[in-house]
């Protein structure tokens, strides 16, 4: 039996990452949706809509928290990286610099 996750981070707020965050949010846990772009994080938080998804897409649910602060993902129990391959190395290096949380 799988333990319940309390916090999941999705790294990458493009169409795939945003859609995935919406699916993961159905698990009734906190979902942090990270983008490196402050303007995109602000727009997602304010409008609850992604400019990269269809106009008919559902708005982001309340347990999805868009951010450009990578520090907000450090205590996630699961981190899903959904970035273009050309960005993978730089994102992985940024994630590597996060402090490791000891198991409780």
Q: Spell out the CATH class of 7-83.
A: alpha beta
| Sign for the pseudo-dihedral over CA of 86, 67, 46, 22 | positive
- Per-residue pLDDT at 103: 59
* Of 35, 37, 90, nearest in space to 64 by CA: 35
Please state the domain extents for the chain.
Answer: 7-83
Show the low-confidence residues of the chain (pLDDT under 50).
1
In the prediction, which pLDDT does 101 show? 63
Cβ–Cβ under 8 Å, residues 66 and 21: no
pLDDT score at 92: 93
Which run of H or E residues covers position 58?
none
Instruction: Give the distance between the most distant pair of CA atoms in the chain.
Output: 42
pTM confidence score: 0.89
Instruction: Locate 100 and state its tokens.
Output: 């490791």
**pLDDT for residue 24:** 96
Contact 20, 78 (CB under 8 A): no
């Amino acid at each position: 039996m799988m333990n319940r996750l309390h916090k999941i981070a999705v790294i990458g707020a493009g169409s795939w990452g945003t859609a995935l965050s919406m699916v993961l949010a159905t698990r009734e846990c906190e979902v942090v949706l990270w983008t490196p772009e402050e303007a995109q994080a602000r727009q997602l938080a304010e409008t609850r809509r992604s400019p990269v998804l269809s106009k008919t897409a559902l708005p982001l649910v309340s347990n999805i928290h868009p951010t450009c602060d990578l520090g907000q993902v450090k205590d996630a129990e699961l981190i899903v990286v959904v970035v273009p391959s050309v960005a993978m190395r730089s994102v992985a290096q940024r994630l590597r610099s996060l402090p490791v949380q000891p198991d409780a």
